[in-house]
Amino acid sequence: MTTFGSAQSAGYDRRATRLLGSLYRRIAADIDTATAQGATVVDIGTGPGKLLSTLATRRPDLRLHGIDLSPHMIEIAHRNLDGHPAELAVADVGDLPHPDATIDFAVSSLSMHEWPDLGAATRELHRILRPGGTLTIYDFRFARTAAIQQALRTHFGTVDTETVRLPWHPVAVITRYRATA
Ligand SMILES: C[S@@+](CC[C@H](N)C(=O)[O-])C[C@H]1O[C@@H](n2cnc3c(N)ncnc32)[C@H](O)[C@@H]1O
């Protein structure tokens, strides 16, 4: 399994800042609508933490967590969070550090297409969510669609799949998968 190295992580941080703001704002708006005051949210494959910092500004009441396979990404995420409280850890989605049934909302953006074992990942995501908790996965349209739907059906029962159109983007390139624990 390859992980984002130091230069690759810094390069991704720069590109994400320039190009992905509308995606992070859209996801933060979805989470805002779907979460109660003080809810616990984890961002899986948080990378440079841009979604978490967008969310921290919009909803300072949320208890934020983020994990990523790359220690370089986690270091950058700490910097980008700029003092906003968040629990960040180096971890694999297939072996999460969170105790059972402790998370209200799990989210992931543009990371699922890199996960080596979708079965192990979705089993872990189901384990850490409270009963009734929500998982949303945003990734490139057509990236492993059938495989992630199958894995989510196995561990969550059903999955809702929706194409996401971002403002100013002429083509819808993102799919959102949503499941309830
Ligand atoms: C393209 S970046 C997306 C980062 C961020 N979510 C975003 O939307 O900007 C993909 C991230 O997923 C992480 N990743 C890949 N495989 C992973 C795994 N098995 N467990 C945890 N994180 C993983 C990578 O290290 C990388 O930071």
In the chain, domain spans:
6-180
* b/e sequence 121-142, b meaning 16+ C-beta within 10 Å: bbebbbbbbeeebbbbbbbeee
What band does 72 get if pLDDT is binned at 50, 70 and 90? very high
Q: Whole-angstrom Cα distance, residue 12 to residue 4?
A: 9
Tens-digit pLDDT profile for residues 77-91: 999 999 999 999 999
144 C-alpha to center of ligand 1: Å? Answer: 15
* Dist CA 41 CA 55 (whole Å): 10
Domain 6-180 maps to which CATH number in 3.40.1010.10, 3.60.20.40, 3.40.50.720, 3.40.50.150? 3.40.50.150
As a whole number of angstroms, the distance between CA 24 and CA 42 comes to 14
Query: Tell me: the pLDDT tens digits for 157-172?
Result: 999 999 998 877 777 8
180 burial (CB, 10 Å; 0-12 / 13-18 / 19+) is: middle
Backbone angles phi and psi of 81, in degrees to 5: -75, -20
The yes-or-no verdict on residue 30 having pLDDT over 70 is yes
Mean pLDDT, the chain, integer: 95
Does ligand 1 lie within 6 Å of residue 46's CB atom?
yes
The verdict on the CB of residue 117 being under 6 Å from ligand 1 is no
Q: Whose alpha carbon is nearest atom 4 of ligand 1?
A: 47
Distance CA 10, CA 161 (A): 32
Single out the residue of 173, 167, 155, 169 nearest to residue 29, CA to CA: 167
Residue 111 C-alpha to ligand 1 middle, in angstroms? 4
Q: Is the pLDDT of residue 1 over 60?
A: no
Q: Which residues pair with 67 in a beta bridge?
A: 44, 89
Ligand 1 and 93: CB distance under 6 A: yes
Mean pLDDT (whole number) for 31-58? 98
pLDDT tens for residues 128-156?
999 999 999 999 988 899 999 999 999 99
The model's pLDDT over 103-112, given as tens digits with 9 standing for 90+, comes to 999 999 999 9
The phi, psi pair for 35, rounded to 5°, reads -120, 145
